[in-house]
Structure 1
Amino acid sequence: MATSPPQYPPYPPHPPHPAAEGLRHPRWWQRRWVRYGALGTLLAVSGLVILALVREQTGTEGFLVGLGLAVLPVPLLVSAFRWLDRVQPGPWRNVLFAFAWGACAAALIAIVANSFATHWIATATADPSGADTLGATVIAPIVEESAKAAAVLLVFLFRRRDFTGIVDGVVVAGVTATGFAFTENILYLGTAFGTDQLTGDRGIASVTAATFFVRIVMSPFAHPLFTVLTGIGFGVAALSGERQRARRVLVPVCGLLLAMSMHALWNGSSTFGQFGFFAVYGMFMVPLFGLLTWLAVWTRQRELRTVREELPAYVYAGWLGAAEPFVLGSMRARQIAREYAAYHFGKPAGRAVTEYEEYATALALLRRRGQRGRAGADFVVRERELLTELWSRRELARPALEYASRTAGTGYGCPVGPVAPVPGAPTWYGAAPLPSTPYNPYRS
């Protein structure tokens, strides 16, 4: 006897959107392929121009040496930011855009603007030495941090669904700054190599070795550290409600100002005396690096805790299995589930479980924002999309997650198997944990 396909659990009510009537087709300049094409062309042109400028200043041989040395910290930094983003990883296209913007567009803006401003100040004051100092400590931090912040702003505005909190701001800002530092290091290392070629210095006493030690060994995190302050500001803005307009504007601006201030302090450290650089490095850079690292890891753990706290409501509504909130709230259990699916059902199944974990995490974070009155007007629509994505992958994901629950020993005492709905509980996302009054995602 033929069996009917499984039915969805009941959806939450779907209020009509105010703009649902009179929808219009986007104009040609609003189409996605036009925007992507324009952005890709801008980055490509910027890359070619910056390549020509750097090669002109360093020479071909210096450029190649600088490129070979500057690329060394890039995989480590990008991997660190991607590790931080593993709970709800953003799409790779955002990472590639951020790196390309930093390495091409932001670097080009910085070279042109810094050179123009320094030259103008030197001409106006007839003091080239003072102009160089002012350019390094004032002009460069303002120009460079603003150029890098533009990438964070673009992702915040046009990839809003991928930008949901502090971790997303840290990752986008950090990768952008990594790309910027990559191009800047090519310039500095290539120039240092050219200087050594003229003076005949070789080995550890060379300018190239000293530049490599300071920029690649001691402070590869410098530019990411500055710009991450801007990213945190945008992350806080992403967590704010739509009516908290002052907070959504002022907090990113404050983050940008802090980034500029730290950048100026770092650039000006050489003017503080013989040991000024080491004093700033030890008293400010290292503690700030440790503080921001702790904040980023704590935020990641908080996201996992949010998954464990918010998803049980969907268990009672019939969307998720009983053990899933606790498996999805453990990185070890999630990895076991992915490996189980890939081993027994193939790599496509492993990818399906990975997507299931990501959608479930996004659902938990969306619900948390709704609980706090910070959900957007598309709350119900977005929830429905995420639930549909989970439902379409449940056949592959649930056996893997149940196996991970038994194997990982999450220790939450959650049985594997169906859970009966709580008597009298709503049949949608507003199950047991919500207060008695109906939840309204559109409240202020």
Structure 2
Amino acid sequence: MSMHPSNPASGRPEDPWGRGTAPLPAQANPSWMGHVQPGNYRPAPGHEGAPVGTVVPPQDQGTMVKAARSRSGLLGLTVGVSVLALLSLFLVVPFLLSSTGAAGFVVGFLASLIPLSVVLLAVHIIDKWEPEPKRLLYFAFTWGAAVSIAVTLLIQPFFVLAFQFSDEADLRTYMATVQAPVVEEFAKSLGLLMLLLLARKHFDGPVDGVVFAFTIAGGFAFTENILYFGRAIAESADPAGDFAQVFFLRGVMSPFAHAIFTGTTGLVMGFAARRWHTGASVAAFLVGLLPAMFLHNRWNSMGQGFLADYILVQVPIFLLALGGIILLRVAEKRLTRQRLLEYSAAGWFTPAEVELLATVGGRRTALNWAGSYGRKRQMREFLKAATHLANTRQRILSGRDVQLHQAEERQQLQRILALRAAVAS
């Protein structure tokens, strides 16, 4: 496998520095994901085999400041959500303990780790192609597990006070089919809105939206499961039997319920992130809540015909969600391949390398090849860096924060050369 850049392909756009726009190539939009407007297209920086510093313009001071602000923003989000989570626990933990008792809380906590692991495994699989920053995944999970629960507990009483029910059964039905879908989806998706507004550099497409939504929902379901599993033990005359029944319902039959609900909001917000501005983000948040609330309502509305509704309605919804995620992944890989081909035309990769970097089979071949020379770790880093570079180029072509992303592109191109040397040495 060649690990050395080829000469630039002929017919490359004349401006190798990306300072202006160039005609939009016919193949620039390989799928419905990441559509590039003609006015936003910029050629990839050229590489003539000289040191990177001579072919990539140095970044100006203003861009460096913006990049530093972006890094500090991630730290600020991490600290901020940690503080909010700590405050939330003063409300959430006493509520759980009063509802489950100490024994129910411990059993519920341990049992809730099982469906949580299933959801986080799905997040890992979806996110494997271009992993999100761990700090943002931490934000998402912490928001879901603590902050969104606290928001729900604070808003919930107002829904009860707004309507007077003389019949307890009617109140329970109202709480399950109206209050829970509205309040819980709002509380979870509020975290998505914060990510889109405050970490927009890393929230730039539908796959990102699904990853963050699944992580938030996984955290929310984790805490909610502690409540339900613990109650089954604390309030039942047959703790073992009732616990087994509740665990089968929530942990086996529906571990992805909350993830699918909130995932629809994340999907809508992810598409809006392609054309980012504050108004579009808020509008996508409000629009995305509608399918999430509807799906949540339909799930909580299942009664005596639960099994039939589950098989005829919920299972198809799950399969549809699974198919949608597969389509997202396929489109994402096609987009990665196209962006890397543009760097190949500029001389950074050979066409053969692109096939190895942008396909699952190619990556497996590259890792096996590198492993035979004891350089598997370096190859894995090279693969991640190439994918990250392709996504950075997509952000540049979106026309959003172009200078900031071009500064990041320069750093990544330098890293690509260093990783290439580490693999090939």
Larger RCO (alpha carbons 8 Å, 6+ apart): 2
Number of residue pairs the alignment of both structures matches:
373
Matched, 1:189 2:229: yes
Task: Please state if 1:254 is matched with 2:287.
Answer: yes
- 2:159 is matched with 117
Residue 228 of structure 2 corresponds to residue 227 of structure 1: no
Amino acid at match of 1:104: A
In 1, Cα distance between the equivalents of 2:190 and 2:239?
Answer: 40
Unaligned runs of 5+ in 2: 1-48
Q: 1:278 aligns with which of 304, 307, 332?
A: 307
Amino acid at match of 1:227: T
- Residue 392 of structure 1 is matched in structure 2 by 415
Q: Deviations over 1:47-76 (max 9, x none)?
A: 343122101211000111111211111112
Deviates more, 1:85-94 or 1:390-399: 390-399
Partner of 1:52: 94
Residue 179 of structure 1: aligned partner:
219
1:237 matched to 2:272? The reply is yes
- 1:94 aligned partner: 136
Give the alignment of 1:18-417 within 5 angstroms. Answer: 36-118=78-160, 120=161, 124-196=164-236, 199=237, 201=238, 203=240, 206-240=241-275, 242=277, 248-270=281-303, 274-275=304-305, 277-338=306-367, 340-341=369-370, 344=373, 349-350=378-379, 352-366=381-395, 370=397, 374-376=398-400, 378-397=401-420, 400=423
2: CA distance, partners of 1:211 / 1:43: 27
CA contact (8 A) 1:87 1:358 kept: yes
The question of whether the paired residues in 1 share the 8 Å contact of 2:73 and 2:199 is answered with: no
Q: CA deviation at 1:151?
A: 1.1
Amino acid at match of 2:94: A
SS in 1 for 2:301: helix
Change (3 A) 1:33 1:167: closer
With normalisation by structure 2, the TM-score equals 0.78
Q: What is the letter of the counterpart of residue 234 of structure 2? A: G
Q: Is the 8 A contact 1:100 1:179 kept in 2?
A: yes
> Deviation string for 1:340-376 (max 9, x for gaps)?
5566465763563244233233135335xx2xxx321
- Structure 1 gaps, min length 5: 404-444
Amino acid at match of 2:290: L
Q: CA deviation at 1:313?
A: 2.3
Q: Distance in 2 between matches of 1:76 and 1:380?
A: 39
For 1:294 and 1:398, the matched residues in 2 are separated by 39
Residue deviations 1:243-283 (CA, integer Å, cap 9, x gap) = xx77554443222111011111111112xxx21x2233223
Deviations 1:307-343 (A, max 9, x none): 2223222223223334232222112322443465566
Percent identity over paired residues? 31
Say whether the 8 Å CA contact 1:341–1:396 is kept in structure 2. no
Letter paired with 2:168: P
TM-aligned CA distance change 1:8 to 1:78, over 3 Å:
same
For 1:375, give the aligned amino acid: G
Q: Which moved more, 1:248-257 or 1:228-237?
A: 248-257
CA contact (8 A) 1:141 1:263 kept: yes
Deviation at 1:130, TM superposition (A): 1.6
What SS does structure 2 have at the residue aligned with 1:160?
coil
Partner amino acid for 2:111? L
SS state of the match for residue 311, structure 1?
A: helix
Asked if 2 retains the 8 angstrom alpha-carbon contact of 1:47 and 1:103, the reply is: no
- Once residues 34 and 388 of structure 1 are traced to their aligned partners in structure 2, the CA distance between those partners, rounded to angstroms, is 23
Question: Residue type of the partner of 1:75?
Answer: S
* Separation in 1, partners of 2:422, 2:81: 42
1:395-434, CA deviations, whole angstroms, 9 ceiling, x for partnerless residues?
Answer: 433685x99xxxxxxxxxxxxxxxxxxxxxxxxxxxxxxx
Asked whether the 8 Å contact 2:204–2:274 carries over to 1, the reply is yes
Question: What is residue 6 of structure 1 aligned with on the other side?
Answer: 51
1:71 match: secondary structure: helix
Change (3 A) 1:45 1:257: same
C-alpha distance in 1, partners of 2:54/2:293?
51
The structure whose Rg is larger is 1
TM-score (norm 1): 0.75
Q: Give the partner amino acid of 1:290.
A: L
Return the alpha-carbon distance in structure 2 between the equivalents of residues 307 and 125 of structure 1. 55
